[in-house]
Structure 1
Amino acid sequence: MELLGQRWTLRVLWELEPGRLGFLELRRRMDNCSSSMLSVRLQHLQSAGLIVKNADKSYELTTAGTELGTALHAVWDWSRRWGAALTDPNDGTV
């Protein structure tokens, strides 16, 4: 949970969910994340066994990373259902 709470970690996992990406393409998708920060996050995710760096220097999710992605999709679905209601103090449904 500590790793998932670090800035940019969930975004890296989200971007890798559809399939493998090289560093430059991943960096392009990460908006304001610096190259050095992205490198650190990739190293941490590799150490945790959530992603792997391939021989062609692309990155992809491991089986554990893919399973985590499934859990993250459930959170995404929940946020789309409840996000507006939870941020609107005038909505009495919460």
Structure 2
Amino acid sequence: MELLGQRWILRVIWELQSGGPLGFLELRRRMGNCSSSMLSERLQQLAAAEVVTKNATGAWELTAIGAQLAGALCTVWDWSKCWRSRPPQAKREHPARGTAD
């Protein structure tokens, strides 16, 4: 969880999940304002955790563990889309308590 909480980590996983294997420059382009040094650091951290790897062409891709993690993130994404589409009053009520948060 500590790794996932670091800035840019989830974005790297998301981009690799949605874009397939990506070279560093393409991944960097997709990451917007993430610096090259920060991206490099995050990729190394994810590689050390066996979430990403470099393939034979040198592109970064998710490992089997990374693909499982990306699947879990997709579940969270689906939840957020559902939550965002709810009426404003429903968003204020806590589902278990029926009261505002």
Distance 1:77 1:15 in 2: 16
Q: Which residue pairs with 1:11 in the alignment?
A: 11
- Report deviation, 1:9: 0.4
Q: Which residue pairs with 2:98 in the alignment?
A: none
1:80 aligns with 2:81: yes
Distance 2:26 2:68 in 1: 23
With the length of structure 2 as denominator, give the TM-score of the two structures.
0.83
For residues 1-94 of structure 1, the aligned pairs below 5 Å read 1-18=1-18, 19-83=20-84, 85=86, 91-93=88-90, 94=93
With the length of structure 1 as denominator, give the TM-score of the two structures.
0.89
Distance 2:46 2:15 in 1: 13
Local SS of the residue matching 1:15: helix
Larger gyration radius, structure 1 or structure 2: 2
Residues 25-56 of structure 1: CA deviation (Å, up to 9, x unaligned): 00000000000000000000000010001232
Distance 1:72 1:54 in 2: 23
> Over the residues paired in the alignment, what is the CA RMSD in angstroms?
1.4
Amino-acid identity (%): 60
**Total equivalences in the alignment:** 90
Q: Which runs of 5+ in 1 are unaligned?
A: none
Distance 1:79 1:39 in 2: 29
Distance 1:28 1:59 in 2: 14
Higher-RCO chain (CA-CA 8 Å, sequence separation at least 6): 1
